[in-house]
Structure 1
Amino acid sequence: MAFSTILLYHHLLILVLFLLHAPPCPAAGGSWSILLPSIGISAMHMQLLPNDRVVMYDRTDFGVSNISLPNGKCRPNSTDCSAHSVEYDVISNTIRPLMVLTNVWCSSGTLMPDGRLVQTGGWADGYRRVKIYKSCSKCDWKEIPNGLNQQRWYATNHLLPDGRQIIIGGRQAFNYEFYPKMSASENSPSFPFLVQTNDPNVENNLYPFVFLYPDGNLFVFANNRAILFNYSKNQVVKTYPTMPGGQPRNYPSTGSAVLLPLRLKKGIVESVEVLVCGGAPKGAFANANNGRFDGALDTCGRIKISDPNPQWVMETMPLARVMGDMLLLPNGHVLIINGASAGVAGWELGRNPVLSPVTYRPDNQIGSRFEVQNPSTKPRVYHSTAVLLRDGRVLVGGSNPHDKYVFTNVLYPTELSLEAFSPSYLDSSSSSLRPRILSPKSKTKIRYGKRVDVTFMVSGGVDLKSVVVTLVSPSFNTHSFSMNQRLLVLDSGNSTKALGKSTYKVSVTAPPSGNFAPSSNYILYVVHKEIPSTGIWVRMQR
């Protein structure tokens, strides 16, 4: 073989080795900060409230937590005087313990239009309970026995256009129901799709991914399949193709999903897309229980569910991930955070935490959508959570892969800390581009289809064509899925104009109906060159 040929092979070998070991793509930034070293509980469930407080809760059946109930209180008929729920005040960075009476383990919930958090189901004595929390300085959980028709454990909830929430599925619950009930006799219609997607050995269809479609139907994804469902008539409207590869994406092969931003133009949304990412391959649950931890899935499936003949488009993430959370950021990007790169969801069943978040830019060309972000130092694996805050940070908590609180001599100790991830749009270098909303004022009521004038300031120069206004719903997060999550890009008709030095106005049209944005509390942002303002709370209503 000629020397030149040998040299060429040598160079090619070096290039291949470099590509194999090179990072998948450059880190784009973002920063981490510890907010509180301990909140006393591991935050398994998390919901932002419209007063900038966050309710978090864990199980109640593992023993005592690391925070006491106030005033010497104890749970009834128990020696447990610790709290298993807390309220975190974002503004003051403080924690207040709350009392839950029955077990909220692996439950679900929805922020209702009046600002109450309505939690549903749980384990054992919490199976059919409904718990309601209305935030105030001395408020606590109120419980409704037998508030549900069926036992709900690992169910998914979604707020509906009529102001009620639908509760879908749960372990061995192949049906759905509503809360509040129209009447005491209201039943729980069967849902054969959950039977069809149930793996008898491992399920893989718990916490199904559910999104409200703009025609009022529900997109429901379970295991590796999806349908469009008319819940009023209990009819399947459309069946979508199985995701290519047929790998499971729901608990315990836990991936995550988002409804991509809905862009409104003249009262319609031309394109409705869903993105499903990560999970674990078939057989991973059985293997993990036998001490073999399969690599997580590194694929995402994206489908335009508004197409007449929708098809999945597969993409490859730079980092494989199971038990990751997917959050919509105010600028329409998707943040993929938390999780592990091997194993499945369940006690002691995950390995190799993924410390680096990844952002996904849905408007970029395929192949250039993912960007790896700076890593945390804290593993956030099973039972970790994340929610978007009004100031654009992402609140991250939880992680407890054990059936008790265990802090030593384990791979991944129970995590009680609370931290924040600040995306790169919060860097100080962007301060001159960041809008500041002047009006409307927080808590403004916005009516469907009406014009809303938004005035804002930007200290630096403004590209008027790059200004958009987004509306984000605060989601209920648990087990790698953010229920009720949606982001709308409001129709502005290129109306942004200067009012004076550094002051501008953009006129937008509110969503036309509750099918697009159910009546409730939302965060409104002005975004300039992909840099969002601090949001303001607004209330969508008829």
Structure 2
Amino acid sequence: MSQTRPSSDGSHGKWHLLHANVGISAMHMQLMHDNKVVIFDRTDFGPSNISLPGGRCRMDPNDAALKIDCTAHSILYDIITDTYRPLMVQTDTWCSSGAVLPNGTLVQTGGFHDGDNVTRMYTPCSNDICDWVEFPNYLSRRRWYATNQILPDGRIIIIGGRREFSYEFFPHLSPRRRTFHLRFLTQTREGSVENNLYPYVHLLPDGNLFIFANTRSILFDYNQNRVVREFPRIPGGDPRNYPSTGSSVLLPLDENEHRIAPEVLVCGGAPRGAYQQALRRTYARAISTCGRLRITDDQNASWVMETMPIPRVMGDMLLLPTGDVIIINGGQSGTAGWELGRQAATRPVIYRPSIPSDQRFSVMTPSRRPRMYHSAAILLTDGRVLVGGGNPHIYYNFSNVFYPTDLSLETFSPPYLSTQYASIRPVILSVDDTVSPGQSFLLSFSVGEFSAESVLSVRIVAPSFTTHSYSMNQRMVVLRTDEIIDNDKSSYTLSVVGPSSAEIAPPGYYLLFVVHSGIPSSGVWVRIQ
């Protein structure tokens, strides 16, 4: 394992503080296609540190903390101008979920108390007056700690929730049957504490869903409400979902392969019983293993285990433009829950899935800010990682605690953004903003130093909805390239083929990157039709 010391030249990444106080703690985050980030917290803990504009207030006679609240619990952060403005959310979004529709609208579902059956929508606009629109009682069941996944037909499936062992769709299939029981969620529930909350859900190229809960995982046909296959339990016997809270990603799908065999990666978490131990002020060492499962047509799929250089619970896992995975935030002992985490894991780790197993992990430069329970991270357009949040307290608490509430936003720049790579960093000059499945399109880019032997790829990334250490809906597809044309003045044109099916890449907005010799361009938005 690589555990080299951090350096000042960016070879182990760099941190940059954007804002020390944006008014709220970033519990949930989603990057939108207008280069703005929707961020929100919860409404039931009292006032935030940012006021609603124009004298607006939220009236909630059932709120236990504050029945008249004139502060915001959601903001919109503009990554281009580095500014933010408050948004108005009426109902409680605590521990909710979300996904982006093909038209670019964020659909946000569930929450706590008055928000548990609510669907909310945010649609980007150009005049800075757009805000949340809420639809009370749209959900048929209480969706608190549920998971969302966009589907090939543009619908969203909403799975699970606290004491909810079912799934439903947005929009609803029919007014008659809106909820479908999922026995797997009942089977994987472990007592009243170590629940299978925020199950890991990944859409696979065959159109089925991979669903992971605690130690078990299935291949699920949601159209027929049928378990197609159950995979072996992840070795070790320790639960990986909330409150044990590891994380998971679907590794990049490569359209250049003759037959795609998707791989799922699950990393970190807390050992069995860690929650009860933490309640007694004994903080168990976090899990240091990752499990990698290659899903093939035969019945021989098995987990391959690897060891991280840093044990981690509550860590966020994000796909980087290079196809590598960054593991960021969280702690080295304890578990998720109020005040139950210890030993902040301030050093990000980058996992490179395509190199030999003993070289895959690299330890990055540490942040000065611990990000524990209720923190979040997302990938930005230029390849940086936006990091925020951290509030392991029932209310905002800034003093006399191990980890004060954090209202800041910062970015981590992975090593590929170092200036030493400027000469080989590609710059996208032009590309069609709409891409049709299976159809060729042209992409022009420039690069200072290029040779025919350079490894070149084009990738699309679906931005994630991130909360509670799980980034829903993120996926990367490596597109097939046909030919490259050498233009004048270090510019080139590529013929690229759009994703082969909606199962590979559901319709919607994606960030497109050109990666040259391991160094990515900034991303540009394309819409998969």
Provide the residue aligned with 2:273 in structure 1: 283
Name the SS for the 1:153 alignment partner: coil
**Structure 2 counterpart of 1:412, which letter?**
Y
Specify the alignment match of 1:14 in structure 2.
none
Q: Secondary structure at the match of 1:286?
A: helix
Number of paired residues?
Answer: 516
Of residues 448, 451, 456, the one that matches 2:437 is 448
Structure 1 residue 439: Cα displacement = 1.4
Distance 2:322 2:31 in 1: 19
Q: Kindly indicate whether the alpha-carbon contact (under 8 Å) linking 1:463 and 1:528 is maintained by their aligned counterparts in 2.
A: no
Q: Deviations over 1:143-182 (max 9, x none)?
A: 1011101000000000001111000000000000000113
Normalised to the residue count of structure 1, the TM-score between the two structures is 0.93
The equivalent position to 1:350 in structure 2, one of 341, 353, 356, is 341
Q: Which ranges in structure 1 are unaligned for 5 or more consecutive residues?
A: 1-21
Match of 1:257, SS state, is: strand
Partner of 1:102: 91
Tell me the CA shift for residue 25 of structure 1: 4.5
- Counterparts of 1:114-133 in structure 2, within 5 Å, are 114-133=103-122
How many angstroms apart in 2 are the aligned matches of 1:412 and 1:208? Answer: 27
1:423 paired residue among 414, 430, 435: 414
State how 1:271-350 maps to structure 2 within 5 Å.
Answer: 271-306=261-296, 308=298, 309-350=300-341
How big is each residue's C-alpha offset from its partner over 1:287-315, in whole Å with a ceiling of 9 and x where there is no partner? 00110000000000001012511010000
1:244-279 C-alpha deviation (Å, 9 max, x unpaired): 11111000000000000100037x642210000000
TM score, norm. by length of structure 2? 0.96
1:457 pairs, out of 437, 440, 446, with: 446
In structure 2, the residue matched to 1:512 is 500
> How far apart, in 2, do the equivalents of 1:509 and 1:278 lie?
36
Mapping of residues 12-411 of structure 1, within 5 Å: 24-27=3-6, 28-77=11-60, 78-136=67-125, 137-265=128-256, 269-306=259-296, 308=298, 309-411=300-402
Report deviation, 1:232: 0.5
SS in 1 for 2:69: coil
Instruction: Report what 1:489 is aligned to.
Output: 478
Residue 501 of structure 1 deviates from its aligned partner by 2.6
Distance 1:219 1:462 in 2: 40
Runs (4+) of structure 1 moved beyond 6 Å? none
Distance 2:154 2:137 in 1: 21
Secondary structure at the residue paired with 1:539?
strand
**Is the alpha carbon distance of 1:80 and 1:372 closer, same or farther for their aligned partners in structure 2, counting shifts above 3 Å?**
same
CA contact (8 A) 2:459 2:513 kept: yes
Are 1:500 and 2:483 counterparts? no
AA in 2 matched with 1:369: R
Q: CA deviation at 1:97?
A: 0.2
Checking the alignment, whether the CA contact within 8 Å between 2:330 and 2:373 is kept in structure 1 is yes
Partner of 1:4: none
Matched residues, percent identical?
54
Contact 2:41 2:73 in 1 (8 A): yes
Q: Which has the larger radius of gyration?
A: 1
Which residue identity does 2:468 align to in structure 1?
H
Q: Distance in 2 between matches of 1:26 and 1:196?
A: 45
Task: State the Cα distance separating 1:452 from its structure 2 match.
Answer: 1.7
- The one-letter code matched in structure 2 to 1:539 is R
Shift of 1:460: 2.2
Counterpart pick for 2:510 among 496, 514, 522: 522
* Counterpart residue type for residue 14 of structure 2: S
**Secondary structure of residue in 1 paired with 2:184:** helix
Q: Secondary structure at the match of 2:350?
A: strand
1:464 shift after superposition: 4.7
Tell me the secondary structure at the aligned position of residue 58 of structure 2: coil
Equivalence map 1:1-20=2 (5 Å): none
| Amino acid in the other structure paired with 1:306 | T
Deviates more, 1:505-514 or 1:243-252: 505-514
Structure 2 distance, partners of 1:520, 1:409, is: 46
Q: Gaps spanning 5+ residues in structure 2: where? A: 61-66
Q: Quick one: distance in 1 between partners of 2:451 and 2:218? A: 43
After superposition, the C-alpha distances for 1:409-430 in whole angstroms (9 at most, x for unaligned) are 1110000000000011111111
Q: Which residue is 1:7 aligned to?
A: none
Q: CA RMSD in A?
A: 1.3
